[in-house]
Structure 1
Amino acid sequence: MNRTDDIGKFLLRATLGVLILLHGIAKLPKGVDGIGHMLASQGVPSVLAYLVFVGEIVAPVLLIVGFFTRPAALVVAINMVVAIWLVHMGDLGKFNGTGGWALELQGMFLVAALASAMIGGGRIGAGGRFN
């Protein structure tokens, strides 16, 4: 594997990590109450709302530093599937005002997380063999 492969993997995982982390940080001041109510309305135990912070804070930090990249990316992918299911299902077949898919951001996050889970984090990062 050449150096550009490692740089590409780093760019993918770090960008995904930073962008998802910003969503997690934005949720911190409000805590898990809103997410818990949303889960409860779908028949899911509200205590699982704490997993949002795992998927939007812990896993992204792991992606950024390059430690346990594959499992962290899988956690982000699962988080995105749940977010699409709970929040965005009504927009699944819609387009935005500029002709793009209404869920292009969520779709890009999901596919980037799946790609990172499949290819790993490369040699740039703290993970070494755990990448």
Structure 2
Amino acid sequence: MRVKNEIGAVVLRVILGVIFLIHGLVKFQGGIENIAGWFSSIGIPGFMAYVVGGIEVIGGIALIIGFGTRIVSALFVILMIGAIIKVKLAVGFLGNGEMAGYELDLAFLAMALFLAINGSKQFSVDKFLVKVNPNRLD
């Protein structure tokens, strides 16, 4: 990946990591039991609130430090697809005045999809853990 693209990927990786980390922390600080109850009320098993919150916190930290970027980003893609389909799609792209629409979720989905496809090795733990093939053409 060219230097400019890699710098852009680092920015996306860190910002997306911070966003998901904060969203996950809020779930736990605000009472994960409440989120579990809300999940149940919309037809998602309550324990999934813990799974989603955990993915957001641990995955957010992982993205910030650049550990498992492609895998974590793929998980975030799945979370965003689930959020859009299960919660936001019914209220429309811009929302309905009571709830935000799925425009922001779609932006997070696009960011995560870019990182899942391209990765981001610059300023990352992965750079030190994964041996890079010098003949690789990416």
Moved more, 108-117 or 73-82: 73-82
CA distance in 2, matches of 1:37, 1:4: 44
Question: Residue in 2 aligned with 1:114?
Answer: 113
**Identical counterparts, % of pairs:** 33
Question: Residue in 2 aligned with 1:73?
Answer: 73
CA distance in 2, matches of 1:74, 1:83: 14
Question: Residue in 2 aligned with 1:54?
Answer: 54
Q: Is the 8 A contact 1:60 1:76 kept in 2?
A: no
Opposite residue 126 of structure 1, the aligned amino acid is V
| Residue-pair matches, total | 127
Q: Is the 8 A contact 1:39 1:86 kept in 2?
A: no
Q: TM-score, normalised by structure 2?
A: 0.78
Equivalent positions of 1:90-105 (< 5 A) are 90-94=90-94, 102-105=101-104
RMSD over aligned Cα atoms:
2.3
Q: Is the 8 A contact 1:92 1:102 kept in 2?
A: yes
Q: Which of the pair has the greater relative contact order for Cα pairs under 8 Å at 6+ separation? A: 1
1:4-34: per-residue Cα shift (whole Å, max 9, x none)?
2221111111111111212112222223212
Computing the radius of gyration over CA atoms, which structure comes out larger, 1 or 2? Answer: 2
Consecutive unaligned residues in structure 1, runs of 5 or more: none
Q: TM-score, normalised by structure 1?
A: 0.82
Question: Residue in 1 aligned with 2:64?
Answer: 64
Opposite residue 121 of structure 2, the aligned amino acid is G
Q: Is the 8 A contact 1:55 1:79 kept in 2?
A: no
